[in-house]
Structure 1
């Protein structure tokens, strides 16, 4: 086997990748973390994180990721800012081609490419992201105590999260483009019976209004009429997309939505030395804390594969 450039390459620099990088650098493994943008992933777009342990007063998404990055750098983690064009994860020598044409090799690889929320793509959505526009009710619901908010979507996630939001909000209005929900019957029954949940059927959000925060949403109804709904927050819950464009999906096992299937130790089946962690994994909950834990698990599994950890 040709001598690899690195023992371990981590693709993606969000919470999972940075934690894996921290563990690897601290273990003095020759490691490279590749990130196409700034380290931090989706958390950089989160205005405020109020549920990460050890930050009792909360922390901005930027500050949390800045501290994670600094922690990994303290142990000398090598980083490279570049886009990955393709990967070949088969065999003992994993190959990663960058968009520059450079090819890097490693004995082990951890895939932490993450995911992104599906957006509705209307004016005001990008501008007010983190300022009333949210894609995670579990993350941001407690910020909306006794307020009136909107939920976009009609599937299981949207309706389940709408029910969850009633624990905080005074009123939750579900905006759905059809005249019936796609969620399972049990969830529909719970939502329709909840006095805090209202429904606007056959309608779509056409604009999110507000200056420093969400103040209202403009709604276009299927009969071409329009209305404005005053709210202080809007949760867009129409699913997430896997960041898997550069991944060799023919080599990996994925679920129906393109997220990577792993075992409990974060190993990708049929590919010795290949692991996945964070939001790119097929799983139910996508939180900063479990992404970080998976990153640590994946790195320790990689150390075992490399023969560094016993047992």
Structure 2
């Protein structure tokens, strides 16, 4: 049984930044990088909006830089994942995928969120080559081009509006015959002249030689008047929601309706004393690398103050 000050579960900007701060605070810290070391940013080829990289940076490179920096300050970084976490009493008892047991005086959860995809093989094929789940991250690459956004809620409408200021044209592909978004968002999208809403449409595939060049769509799928055709697009954006990776902790932590960890406003504190949450796992609103990094710093500072007081 290993006894440590702080266990960080998850990598990505939140986990690695927490590790930098925890290491510099001289806390005995172990970080488990999880199934996707580096998190969602490793699926993005070019990151242009992370401060300090004026020429942009490859997502994998950015995460490698953060990982190296975290290691420099003494955090032990382990590949693999935590498979059991008992947060019912302190010190917290956790077990990794190799069966190693860890007793931690504080825990920082930075397990992120996973974008929901339609489940088409083509999404995997063109990931990073025209398929994206973040308009704010990748919209810039589609200036004066034609893009499609899938979804009918507030997120989809917000992404469509954001992209409409960059792209020449935006298709909003909506499965239902209506938008689920709030009235104000609906109206904005309807009024925007370069957004075309395709109601009762399903995307069944994507095509293109060197990246996405178009989508196969079906209007009124399965109905007698079903209609199949193709639209020419350069980018395909998914806005059907994110699933926070909170399965392991739901027994102990307060979650919102979508499963995101609730934190005390202005802090990284959860409802369990000594357990902190950082990054996308606790952020349904912004989902940006720089915001996650900032919340990772907050979590490590909160953990250090907690340990000093206890």
Would you call these one fold, judging by a TM-score over 0.5? yes
Q: Counterparts in 2 of 1:256-271, with a 5 A limit?
A: 256-263=257-264, 264-269=266-271, 271=272
Cα distance per residue 1:64-116 (max 9 Å; x no partner): 11111111122232022222222111322101122333321110000001000
Shift of 1:124: 1.3
Give the equivalent residue in structure 1 for 2:242. Answer: 240
Give the equivalent residue in structure 2 for 1:279. Answer: 280
Give the equivalent residue in structure 1 for 2:203. Answer: 205
Distance (whole Å) between structure 2 residues aligned to residue 132 and residue 83 of structure 1? 30
1:195 maps to which of 177, 184, 193: 193
Give the equivalent residue in structure 2 for 1:175. Answer: 173
Give the equivalent residue in structure 1 for 2:39. Answer: 41
After the TM superposition, which of the residue ranges 89-98 and 145-154 deviates more from structure 2?
Answer: 89-98
Give the equivalent residue in structure 2 for 1:300. Answer: 301
- Change beyond 3 A, Cα 1:113–1:154: same
Shift of 1:38: 4.8
Cα distance per residue 1:46-73 (max 9 Å; x no partner): 1111101111111110111111111112
Shift of 1:224: 3.2
Shift of 1:147: 0.6
Cα distance per residue 1:169-215 (max 9 Å; x no partner): 00001111111111111111111111101121211111111232111
Q: 3-state SS of the aligned residue for 2:5?
A: strand
Distance (whole Å) between structure 1 residues aligned to residue 183 and residue 171 of structure 2? 19
Give the equivalent residue in structure 2 for 1:100. Answer: 98
Structure 1 residue runs of 5 or longer lacking an equivalent are none
Distance (whole Å) between structure 2 residues aligned to residue 304 and residue 246 of structure 1? 25
How many residues align structurally? 305
TM-score for both structures, normalised by structure 1:
0.94
Q: Counterparts in 2 of 1:214-253, with a 5 A limit?
A: 214-222=212-220, 223-247=225-249, 249-253=250-254
Distance (whole Å) between structure 2 residues aligned to residue 274 and residue 150 of structure 1? 40
TM-score for both structures, normalised by structure 2:
0.94
Give the equivalent residue in structure 1 for 2:3. Answer: 5
Structure 2 residue runs of 5 or longer lacking an equivalent are none
Q: After the TM superposition, which parts of structure 1 deviate over 6 Å for at least 4 consecutive aligned residues?
A: none
After the TM superposition, which of the residue ranges 141-150 and 99-108 deviates more from structure 2?
Answer: 99-108
Q: 3-state SS of the aligned residue for 1:5?
A: strand
- Change beyond 3 A, Cα 1:125–1:34: same
For the Cα contact (< 8 Å) 1:4–1:107, is it kept in 2? Answer: no
Q: 3-state SS of the aligned residue for 1:85?
A: strand
Distance (whole Å) between structure 2 residues aligned to residue 241 and residue 205 of structure 1? 21
Q: 3-state SS of the aligned residue for 2:124?
A: coil
Distance (whole Å) between structure 2 residues aligned to residue 308 and residue 179 of structure 1? 56
Cα RMSD over matched residues? 1.6
Q: 3-state SS of the aligned residue for 2:267?
A: coil
